Structure 1
Amino acid sequence: MPTHPVPADEPNEPHKARAMAESFGADAARYDRTRPRYPDALIERIAAAAPGPDVLDVGCGTGIAARALQAAGCTVLGVDVDPRMADFARERGVTVEVAPFEIWDARGRTFDAVVAGQTWHWVDPVAGAAKAAEVLRPGGRLALFWNTTRPGPELAEAFSAAYMRALPDAPRNPWSRSVIDAYGTIFGTVSGAIRDTGAFGEPEEWRVDWERHRTRDAWLEEIRTSGEAGQHTPEQLARLLEGMGAAVDAVGGAFTMPYTTVAVTAARQARQSV
């Protein structure tokens, strides 16, 4: 499932929720097996919009986006904060360096594209945009993208009710509103930080709608990979999975989840001579 943006001390600063941001490597194999991929149309558009094949994948995780970009003809270097995720990606053919992107040492290297799939909300938006501008070649493409779910009203209501029953004291219910609406503030923050660098053209959004069939068991596995799942007690998680499973059973044991994948993207302008 897409990682829902989760506030830390400030409502629009999920990058400060470090325990959650660094929890995904607890079961890297499950994460890679169950997380949704990204639509080919978006991957191909990013590759075509870059002036060359050299791509830096920020927060590359297990290499889901990196492998798709490799298949599209790109040469990809990943950067990730979690050595467990990095090891998994390396075993599958992705070169990865371990560091937070904001302080990662590029050692003078530059790239035709900087991308981040489902991870940029864990990066400081101001420092991240500045770093991306630093390592992109003129004309290079910054593309930050997220999968957002769009369950139908009946299923969304059932998921919301299951969440409330399992976690009545939770500070928020991630299914109480559409995921794309929840990400809206993040898209705005990211675009604003890109503009503020003065190094990019006007940010735009690329959107691709697609669907994914999920069985009950596959959906419960996917729920286990969310950032929030790693913060629940075993008892809370068991209640949540039971309720979510019952919701899927009620619609026949499987469902089709509509997705909208949204990319916030901009081109690096030529560097100004001083």
Structure 2
Amino acid sequence: MPTIPPGQSPRPAPEPHQHRRMAESFGVDAERYDRARPRYPRALIDRIAATRSGPDASPGRAPGVLDVGCGTGIAAQQFEAAGCGVLGVDADARMAELARRRGLPVEVSTFEAWDPAGRTFDAVVAAQAWHWVDPVAGAAKAARALRPGGRLAVFWNAGQLPPGLMEAVADVYDRVLPDSLAARQWTASAVDGYTALCDKAADGMREAGAYGVPERWRFDWEWTYARDEWLDLLSTTGVHTTLPPAQLEEVLSGVGAAVDAAGGGFTMRYATVASTAIRTGSA
């Protein structure tokens, strides 16, 4: 265990947005990411799309929605289906290229460095991505890009494995990746973890000083996974995108065996949690 030299304080743990290697690792297999990642509840999409920032404003006006960390365009496609014009911003050119092939305009940049260039939007959203953005700088940048009355909405899918399978999967990680973030995630509540991210996002909105009182939204739903569908998804998440191939294969083999023992599939209970606030001020 490292020791701290006399007279020095321990360094605080880096914030998620400072983990740039992981933040920009998801494009290693953009096709898999796009295929495997879950979508978002229609009720959430519709509620954001209903935002109006004035008598002539509508998220249906192109582009009415700015999608931060748009990835391959998963959420953007849902907003487009709801009648919204969408512009994406993503730091990973590989993810952006796949989204562009589907017709989504994407600008490659971290959000903190992105230039609105005088453009304004009715809604700024981030789906499973705001933890890769500095919460205060991001909220301030979003305020610059929002019309007065527009909405900033950041949201995450928090999934919980069924009891029994959760313990079996945790055993795999304890064996293959002991003391890792990946191992700890199976012993903690996913909803609690993402609720903490919502709290941090709301604090950023308050500190930016350009929003009304932040609101918390929650949408509960379920999805059933077959074994291979779950392993496909697992390969696209967090720590797994940066594992050496042999170690990733050992994890997937162990998790696959656990799912097989549970009947070859399972139903995941999801809660999609969101922090959202309205841009105040006048045009």
Say whether residues 1:253 and 2:264 are aligned partners. Answer: yes
* Corresponding letter in the other structure for 1:136: L
Match of 2:154 among 137, 144, 156: 144
Residue 114 of structure 2 corresponds to 104
Say whether residues 1:237 and 2:237 are aligned partners. Answer: no
C-alpha offsets along residues 107-134 of structure 1, whole Å, 9 cap, x if unaligned?
Answer: 1000000000000000011110100111
Residue range with higher mean Cα deviation, 261-270 or 225-234: 225-234
C-alpha distance in 1, partners of 2:51/2:168?
A: 40
Residue 199 of structure 1 corresponds to 210
Per the TM alignment, residue 168 of structure 1 is displaced from its structure 2 partner at its CA by: 2.1
Per the TM alignment, residue 227 of structure 1 is displaced from its structure 2 partner at its CA by: 2.1
C-alpha distance in 2, partners of 1:230/1:166?
A: 15
Residue 127 of structure 2 corresponds to 117
Match of 1:162 among 143, 157, 172: 172
Pair 95,243 (structure 1): closer, same or farther in 2 beyond 3 Å:
same
C-alpha distance in 2, partners of 1:178/1:11?
A: 20
| Structure showing greater Rg | 2
Residue range with higher mean Cα deviation, 45-54 or 63-72: 45-54
Contact 1:199 1:271 in 2 (8 A): no
Per the TM alignment, residue 12 of structure 1 is displaced from its structure 2 partner at its CA by: 6.5
* Corresponding letter in the other structure for 2:36: T
Residue 20 of structure 1 corresponds to 22
C-alpha distance in 2, partners of 1:132/1:50?
A: 16
Identity %: 58
Residue 139 of structure 2 corresponds to 129
Gaps of 5+ in 2: 1-10
Residue 31 of structure 1 corresponds to 33
Residue 4 of structure 1 corresponds to none
Residue 92 of structure 2 corresponds to 82
Pair 10,149 (structure 1): closer, same or farther in 2 beyond 3 Å:
farther
* Corresponding letter in the other structure for 2:169: F
Per the TM alignment, residue 153 of structure 1 is displaced from its structure 2 partner at its CA by: 2.3
Pair 12,242 (structure 1): closer, same or farther in 2 beyond 3 Å:
same
Contact 1:101 1:128 in 2 (8 A): yes
Contact 2:162 2:267 in 1 (8 A): no
When the two structures are aligned, how many residues end up with a matched partner?
A: 264
Per the alignment, in what secondary structure is the counterpart of residue 264 of structure 1? strand
C-alpha distance in 2, partners of 1:157/1:249?
A: 14
C-alpha distance in 2, partners of 1:23/1:158?
A: 27
C-alpha offsets along residues 58-108 of structure 1, whole Å, 9 cap, x if unaligned?
Answer: 000000000100000000000000111111001112110111111111110
Contact 1:220 1:245 in 2 (8 A): yes
C-alpha distance in 2, partners of 1:37/1:70?
A: 13
Gaps of 5+ in 1: 1-8
C-alpha distance in 1, partners of 2:279/2:184?
A: 38
Contact 1:38 1:261 in 2 (8 A): yes
Match of 1:216 among 199, 219, 227: 227
Per the TM alignment, residue 159 of structure 1 is displaced from its structure 2 partner at its CA by: 1.6
Per the alignment, in what secondary structure is the counterpart of residue 122 of structure 2? strand
Residue range with higher mean Cα deviation, 80-89 or 42-51: 42-51
What's the C-alpha RMSD, in Å, of the aligned pairs? 1.4
C-alpha distance in 2, partners of 1:83/1:133?
A: 25
Residue 66 of structure 1 corresponds to 76
Per the TM alignment, residue 169 of structure 1 is displaced from its structure 2 partner at its CA by: 4.7
* Corresponding letter in the other structure for 2:93: P
Residue range with higher mean Cα deviation, 115-124 or 149-158: 149-158
C-alpha distance in 2, partners of 1:265/1:50?
A: 14
C-alpha distance in 1, partners of 2:224/2:267?
A: 4
* Corresponding letter in the other structure for 1:97: E
Dislocated runs of 4+, deviation >6 Å: none
Q: Could you tell me the TM-score, scaled by structure 1's length?
A: 0.93
* Corresponding letter in the other structure for 2:40: Y
C-alpha distance in 2, partners of 1:184/1:43?
A: 19
Per the TM alignment, residue 10 of structure 1 is displaced from its structure 2 partner at its CA by: 4.0
Per the alignment, in what secondary structure is the counterpart of residue 152 of structure 2? strand
